[in-house]
Amino acid sequence: MPSKRQRPPPERRPRQAGGIPGLGIAVWRALAPVLRAALIYGVSLGALLYCYAKLYRTAALNGFLELNARATGWLLTPFVSSVHVQSNVVQSNTYSIGIVEECTALAPLAVFIAGVLAVPASAKSKLWGVVMGLVVLSLVNVVRMASLFFVGSRYPWAMDVAHLIVWQALMVLLAVLLWLFWMYRWARRAPA
């Protein structure tokens, strides 16, 4: 019987990640900017919240609370009779609220600033974003506190919902929408 002709074994090439040559590198290159932004965001947010925690119950933060109370009292004056502010408490003849650390715009501002820092943009654009966020979020927070004073004095049964659900969600949503506005309006014009 004649011997069968044997084929040489096929040449083996080393397999690359994913089975398709170069796909792993392409995916990494595509994801690298996103991963970089996520890392910067996470580290920035962690650092800002750490600073916020370190300021908790300090004289510096107490001064900020009193400033928020004075601004809230000033905004309420045309609408509520006999409003006065004592330290961080806004009160009238019938109702009072105490402004504590969680009542400030600092947590939503931390979310916003971390987002600004994570986007590749010029330092000038980032500074503009931080200033814009500080002003807008602080002003809206004063409106928030004044509205909560009104809700608490007129509709006390709705205070918890307005305070813990509606306004907290709106402040975080505002921080995200403000970040998107800044990013699409200014960050794209001035890459780093």
Q: Which residues pair with 91 in a beta bridge?
A: 84, 96
Q: Read off the pLDDT band of 191 (50, 70, 90).
A: very low
DSSP state letter for 173: H
Lowest mean pLDDT among 52-56, 75-79, 106-110, 132-136: 52-56
Q: What is the pLDDT of residue 4?
A: 66
Residues 122-179: tens digit of each pLDDT? 999 999 999 999 999 999 999 999 999 999 989 999 999 999 999 999 999 999 999 9
Q: What is the pLDDT of residue 190?
A: 45
Cβ neighbours of 174 (radius 10 Å): 20
Cβ neighbours of 148 (radius 10 Å): 20
Q: Look at residue 24 and give its three-state secondary structure.
A: helix
Q: What is the pLDDT of residue 192?
A: 45
What would the DSSP string read from start to end of 80-144? STT-EEETTEEE-SS-EEE--GGGSSHHHHHHHHHHHHHS---HHHHHHHHHHHHHHHHHHHHHH
Summary mean pLDDT of the chain: 86
* Cα-to-chain-centroid distance, residue 69: 23
Lowest mean pLDDT among 54-63, 84-93, 146-155: 54-63
Question: Parallel, antiparallel, or unpaired for β 96-98 and 84-86?
Answer: unpaired
Q: What is the pLDDT of residue 176?
A: 94
Residue 116 has pLDDT above 50, yes or no: yes
Q: What is the pLDDT of residue 170?
A: 95
Angle 159-160-161 from CA coordinates, rounded to 5°: 95
Q: Read off the pLDDT band of 21 (50, 70, 90).
A: low
Cβ neighbours of 122 (radius 10 Å): 14
Residue 99 near residue 152 (C-beta atoms within 8 A): no
Residues 90-108: tens digit of each pLDDT? 999 889 999 988 888 999 9
If you average pLDDT over residues 62-88, what whole number do you get?
91
Name residue, tokens 């910067």. Answer: 40
DSSP state letter for 155: -
Q: Higher-confidence residue: 181 or 58?
A: 181
Residue 44 near residue 117 (C-beta atoms within 8 A): yes
Residue 24 has pLDDT above 60, yes or no: yes
Question: Parallel, antiparallel, or unpaired for β 84-86 and 89-91?
Answer: antiparallel
